[in-house]
Each structure stands twice: as C-alpha cells, then as structure tokens.
Structure 1
Amino acid sequence: MRELHPHLDRLKYEYNHWDDAIHGFREIERSRWSKSSSNILARIRHLAFPGPEKQQLPQTHILDLAQSGVIKPHVDSVRFCGNIICGVCLLSDAVMRLVNVDHKDQIVDVLLQRCSLYIMKDQSRFNYTHEVLGDKESFFGNEAVERGRRVSIICRNHPSEKN
C-alpha cells in the first residue's frame, strides 16, 4: 500500500463506470514495481497462471473501492482479459457474491479476507456474475462483515484468440 498511496491519493473516487459495474472507485494500472512488490507479484502470477509468462497481461490493475463503493453483478468482458483473473484483497474484508447466469438460485458468497488471494477461472469467470457487496449487504452466513475501504491488486491473462 505504501507504493500505491502516492498514485491513488491523486485521484478522486468515481461514480460513473463505462459499463456501470463499479461505483465509488479509483483505479490505475501499473507495470513497474519495487523489487519487493515485484517478487510478491511474481509468486502470485506463478500460482495463478500456469503456462508461459507471455500469456499474462503485463499491467497490474489496482482497484480502490471506497467504503461506500460497490461492484455490481457482472460478467467480465472477454475482450479485455482471458479465462483467469486473480486478486489480492487489501485493507478490508469483503464478500464477493457469485450467481449462476442460467440458474439464479445458484448463489455462492465468498469471504475475501484482508490480505487474501482469490483466483477466478473458467466457469466462475464466465458462467457466474460476480459482485462485491456493499457495507449494508455484507454478510457471510449470519455474520456481518464490516466493510472499509478495499484495494485489490488484480492480475489477468490475455484474451483467448478464439474470442
């Protein structure tokens, strides 16, 4: 976070996203990191992305979600990334909800604890919407999950040539 603060602090939180999926966010992309951060990202990428490194997008996406911010249900566009996305959840716990696009009664809530790594691939990427619940809706089971500001460091692979 020390490395990201100078870049994020210059930005205002936005409430209009091009596809209306995110409200209350700031975002940047980075391809240059300090040596220690580069080492951590290399370990994450090695775990999340089997195969040649050239299949990974070189930029790392940083999404800063305000305490009042939300990510609405959506399926990521295949134009911008491939079948794998991974992220490190920083600063605050959050609840990610996955809902099957064909069977709306198939719902999975995932607790993203602060400093946890999540990996979404294949079916979870394309057959389920995903969203990050707002503070008032954030429950895991019967337990309220207090949401603060949440920063995600997100890595993706290239879109498939088939798409």
Structure 2
Amino acid sequence: MAAPVVATSGVLCRALRAGFCRPHGARLLRQAARCLSPGTPAPRAPTGPPAPLPEGLRLLRGFLTPQEEQALLLEVEGALKRVRYEGGHWDQAIHGFREIEKSQWTEQNAKILQRVRDVAFPPGVPQLSLVHVLDLKADGYIKPHIDSVKFCGSTIAGLSLLSSSVMRLVSEQNKDDWADLLLERRSLYILGGRARYEFTHEILKDEDSVYNGERVPRERRISVICRNLPDKGTPYALGTPPENIDPASRL
C-alpha cells in the first residue's frame, strides 16, 4: 500500500505564524519545506583521504530511462520557463537557480514519482504533497547545509536530470570525515540516517567538480526531490538528532 501523501497548508500556516521562514509570497512553501540550515563550509580541496560513505546514503544508478527523463523534463520545463533564475537564495545556500513545486503530474510521471516514493520511504510514512523541482544553472552550486529537521523528515530523495554532478558530504562533528558521491544523470539518491542528520551535503561548483581524480563537467542540472514530513517521535532509526546539529535547524 502506498504511503500517504499529505497536504502542507498546515505546515505553512504554522511556519508563517511562528516566523520560522521569511514570507515571500508563493515562495513561502519551499522555505517552510526546506529552511536550509547552512553548515560550516568544507575545504574546497580536502587534504585528507575520503572516508566511506555515511550510513543512510543510497544511490540507484540508472533509475530513470532516457525516455522517462524526457517525460519529466517536458513537464517541468513548461513551468520553469515562467520563473527567472536567481543569483542567490535568501539563506545564501543556493546560487544560480530557479525552483518550483508541483503536486499535479501526468499519469506517466506520477507513476515515476510513485516508484521514487516506494523505494525511498518506509511504508505508511506521511510525505509532503508538493514535489520540489530545483533547476541549477551550469555555473550554479549548492553550499554545505543540512535540511531543517523542523520541516523535513527523515528521508530526502532526489532524481538527477540533464547532468551528472558531485555531491560532497562532510561530518558536522569532524571535518576530516568527508566523502564525495557521483550523482550520475538519471540516478536517484536517497539521504537518510546519519547522512541526513549528521553530514552537510552540497553540489560542487563546475570548477571543483572532480570525482576520483576525474573531471565531471557540470551542465545545467534539474533535481526532482521528494521529502517526508517530520516525525514527531524519533527522527531516524538510530534515535534523536545528535547534539552537534545546528540548534536553529531544530526550531
């Protein structure tokens, strides 16, 4: 049985009343849903060797067929073309981007997103109804951050369209504990567990986009992201969020 997908208007109202996010009209939702908590930036070129990938991080290469990628692109491009690129997000975590949220999809693409939900989220976990679509320019990038535990749940699942990229994860507790992950075009990444709560994640700039010594050219990249609602109990299987998480992200 598919997990419930719930509306987010209650989250919006609570966020607005409590002042957790800055209201910018239609952009309030994505700020409430994400409210990025920037972490301490990792070194541009780490000197130590990378560590094993943290627990809770999964990558499914080739999750989409080329035909499925094109179907998703065809649908999101129509909405994206009405939105202007921005130099910087209000919290300075994203540069060179535009974004939308979508709740209504064609039958074909709805089936693709249901596959994402079935793979990424445990059965019965309530999920955010709106899917976040983030369009990053070729020279855009995402700085180190941990998604807010106030408005985002235990799992973040993202499809990579148009371009491969390098995601860097750095431990909040030990900056020498870092790892890079090659997000291949048409892959699905899933952040949960320690990777979700204890590591910042970022998308490297084109000039820094190197994986295992090999250059990974960054083109325009679109990510299609699903999230679940915050769990009022334990945020992830290992227990409550560790104390090293930025307290602001738990407001």
Q: For 1:88-99, what aligned pairs fall within 5 Å after superposition? A: 88-99=159-170
**Can you list the C-alpha shifts for 1:97-144, whole angstroms capped at 9, x where unaligned?**
000000100111000000000000021011000000010000001100
Instruction: Choose the corresponding residue for 2:96, options 15, 20, 24.
Output: 24
CA distance in 2, matches of 1:32, 1:10: 17
Work out which of the residue numbers 86, 91, 97 in structure 1 matches 2:157: 86
* Structure 2: gaps spanning 5 or more residues: 1-72, 234-249
Query: How far, CA to CA, are the matches of 1:139 and 1:100 in structure 2?
Result: 20
Choose the corresponding residue for 1:62, options 114, 133, 136: 133
Matched, 1:151 2:222: yes
Provide the residue aligned with 1:133 in structure 2.
204
Identity of aligned residues (%): 50
Question: Given the alignment, which residue of 67, 71, 74 partners 2:145?
Answer: 74
Pairwise CA distance, 1:51: 1.8
Describe the SS at the equivalent of 1:15.
strand
Q: Which position in structure 2 is the counterpart of 1:3?
A: 75
Given the alignment of the two structures, is residue 12 of structure 1 paired with residue 104 of structure 2, yes or no? no
Deviating 4+ runs (over 4 angstroms) = none
What is aligned with 2:3?
none
Query: Aligned equivalents of 1:42 and 1:136: distance in 2?
Result: 35
Report whether the alignment pairs 1:51 with 2:123. Answer: yes
Compute the TM-score of the two structures, normalised by the length of structure 1.
Answer: 0.96
Letter in 2 for 1:82: G
Separation of aligned partners in 2, 1:60 and 1:161: 22
Distance 2:151 2:133 in 1: 15
d(CA) in 1 for partners of 2:231, 2:89: 25
Cα separation, 2, equivalents of 1:25 and 1:126: 24
Identify, as 1 or 2, the structure richer in strand.
1
2:110 counterpart residue number = 38
Q: Which amino acid in the other structure matches residue 4 of structure 1?
A: V
Q: Report the equivalent of 2:20.
A: none
Residue of structure 2 aligned with 1:113, choices 175, 184, 202: 184
Deviations 1:7-39 (A, max 9, x none): 101111112212210000110010000000000
Measure the CA separation in 2 of the matches of 1:79 and 1:24: 26
Give the Cα separation in 1 of the matches to 2:79 and 2:159: 18
Q: Gaps (5+ residues) in structure 1?
A: none
Cα RMSD over matched residues?
Answer: 1.0
Alpha-carbon distance in structure 2 between the residues aligned to 1:31 and 1:9: 18
Paired residue secondary structure (1:47)? helix
How many angstroms apart in 2 are the aligned matches of 1:18 and 1:160?
Answer: 26
